[in-house]
Amino acid sequence: MNEKKIYQILFITAGTLTILGSIAQLFKTFYAPYLFTVGVVLLIFLHGVEVFDKSKTDKRQQRLARIGLLTSLMLGIGAYFMFIGSNSWVVMLLIYALSSFFQSFRGNTKY
């Protein structure tokens, strides 16, 4: 299995866990923050790897990779808000979703 396929599988897994954690949080289940956090940690890892792999590419690709990492770190803040019981995690999730939507039109990612 090549490297791109592994990143795609990890990205799909991370996104699925993040979505399942968000939905479970809406129903106030106790395991929702844990599902969400595992997905977020995977997303942060994938975006971090992308930033370090883009170090030899053009400035535009580097900038988009850094934006992806910063917005995934915002998801980490959202996971913290889930654990403390605040509803502000929704804002962080919205920022990440809008940023990912923007990036899907702007650049090629590893996955």
Res 60: pLDDT: 84
Nearest C-alpha neighbor of 90 from the set 104, 99, 79, 101 = 79
Domain count within the chain: 1
Range of the structural domain that residue 15 is part of: 3-106
Residue 25 resides in a domain: yes
In a domain, residue 33? The reply is yes
Question: Between 32-53 and 59-84, two packed helices, what is the crossing angle to 10 degrees?
Answer: 160
Q: Residue 63's pLDDT is what?
A: 87
pLDDT of 18 reads: 95
pLDDT per residue rounded down to tens, the chain (111 residues): 788 899 999 999 999 999 999 999 999 999 999 999 999 999 999 999 988 886 677 888 888 888 989 999 999 999 999 999 999 999 999 999 998 888 888 766 665
* Residue 28: inside a domain: yes
* CA–CA separation, 13 and 93 (whole Å): 17
Could you tell me the pTM of the whole model? 0.86
